[in-house]
Amino acid sequence: MNRNDPRRIAYQLLAAVEFDDAYANLLLPRLLADAGVTGRDAAFTQELAYGTIRWQLFYDEAIEMAAGRHLDDIDRDALIVIRIGAHQLLGMRTAVHAALSETVDLAKDVLPARLTGFVNAVLRRISERTRDDWMQKVLAGLNDEVDRFAIRYSHPVWVVRALKQALKLDGREADLEALLIADNEPAKVSLVALPGLLDRKDLLAQEGSLVPGEASPLGLVLESGDPGRLHDVADGSARVQDQGSQLMALALAAAPIDASLADNSWADICAGPGGKAALLAALSIKAEAHLFCNEVSQHRTKLVRNALSPVRQAGANVQIETGDGRALGKTAAEKFDRIMLDAPCSGLGALRRRPEARWRRSSRDIAGLTTLQQELLEAAYAALKPGGVVAYVTCSPHPSETTAVVDWAIKRIAGIELLDANAVLHSVNPALQLNTERKTAQLWPHVNGTDAMFIALLKKPAQKKDAR
């Protein structure tokens, strides 16, 4: 099997995700480029790899039954190969004989000879049933809705429970199945035309495969092709960015602050990898504001520098530093008019684009993330000028990472004001479907066509004037 075979590349990706905690969306482009794979073969490779990751829970249940043994008793490399074969048999239109023969050839190429026969035998048993037949067999005996949905849509049970609770808080409890379906549909490539560098209308006129985004007024959707081939993406005046992320930056820029503030000092205190920071920097040019960007690691700081380079060349006044955002409450006390806090989170809102995220976290991780989110929010608020606004943002709808953190801040910090984020987002795009009965805002893939981004706009009370 040659090095540029889609199945071999898919195996390399899945092994890196399994054993090295690699990010599929970051690694796959490099693997494809190294192998010189483009066009249909690249699309096939992506569907093979991403689909295998998305449907892992369902496939593992079927594999256990077909193999007659527990997953822990199956060699991990062999399991990856079997998953790749199972996706071809149960999730793609690949002919059975091709799926079997090509996957067995992959097994011969990457596994010890003693495992090839086992892989062949398991895949042949899987091929004896249709996807629907396997689904019925796997679901047999499961009566709880959450348990059934977990298998049917291949999400961990704890994630399904968390999403159900988040939907209920947003008045959308009946949407659980629709959300899970949306999580398993690959997201289309969204772009942002950075204001001051590029007008969206100009890019639309140049590229026929682009259509206007429905969620963000700056957004575009690439219906086909590689965004990297677009000149405006290559020169940095347009970027690949989910429209939900675009809306978070636009909401912070549009949020009402005290009229006495100069509104010329902005910050992004968890700026990596730099997408929201680049948009904020572009917006800061017209506002004549200085943008301070902070990242905790040198590697992610480098990503921010790269992302902001075109905007700085266009005139953005930007400062980029490496440091712990939790220290800014002391080192930059009451310094900023507007602060973006895109807090580290579970990433459960981006399962369409990061299929491995559902398997990378566990419910035990949430408590540690929540503590970090609270500490960062407290520091961001301390770094905020009186009358200024901090946007607390997560790419997760998990209640513990969203409304619970906001409730904690309101109880802990005297005088803090929760602004109506839905009203601000409606000022950015009046067509957005939002729950106007709440002040925090939650976006959803199945409703808004974006990642499930959460935002709360928190304002520090302005200093009272001397009454003398």
Q: Does residue 2 carry a pLDDT above 90?
A: no
- The CATH class of 243-459 is alpha beta
pLDDT value, residue 465: 60
Q: What is the pTM of this model?
A: 0.94
Q: Does residue 3 carry a pLDDT above 80?
A: no
pLDDT tens-digit readout, 310-354: 999 999 999 999 999 999 999 999 999 999 999 999 999 999 999
State CA 183 to chain mean position distance: 11
Residue 337: strand, helix, or coil: strand
pLDDT value, residue 1: 67
Query: What kind of fold does domain 6-133 have according to CATH?
Result: N-utilizing Substance Protein B Homolog; Chain A (1.10.940)
Among 100, 131, 94, smallest CA distance to 116 is for 100
Residue at 344: amino acid letter = P
Instruction: Compare 271 and 468 and report the one with higher pLDDT.
Output: 271
pLDDT tens-digit readout, 179-225: 999 999 989 999 999 999 999 999 998 888 899 999 999 999 998 88
226 pLDDT band, cuts 50/70/90, is confident
How many CA atoms, within 13 angstroms, populate the side-chain half-sphere of residue 164?
13
**Domain range list for the chain:** 6-133, 143-183, 189-240, 243-459
- The CATH class of 189-240 is alpha beta
pLDDT value, residue 56: 97
pLDDT tens-digit readout, 96-135: 999 999 999 999 999 999 999 999 999 999 999 999 999 9
345 is catalytic: no
- For residue 105, CA distances in Å to 64, 67, 110, 119, 321 come to 22, 19, 9, 10, 50
**Average model confidence (pLDDT) across the chain:** 95
**Which of 22-26, 87-91, 166-170, 279-283 comes out lowest in average pLDDT?**
22-26
Tokens 């906001």, residue? 406
CB atoms closer than 10 angstroms to residue 131: 15
CB atoms closer than 10 angstroms to residue 255: 22
468 pLDDT band, cuts 50/70/90, is very low
d(CA 283, CA 306): 18
For residues 191 and 239, is the Cβ–Cβ distance under 8 A? yes
pLDDT value, residue 467: 42
**Under 8 Å CB-to-CB from 131, ≥6 apart: which residues?**
90, 91
**Under 8 Å CB-to-CB from 144, ≥6 apart: which residues?**
none
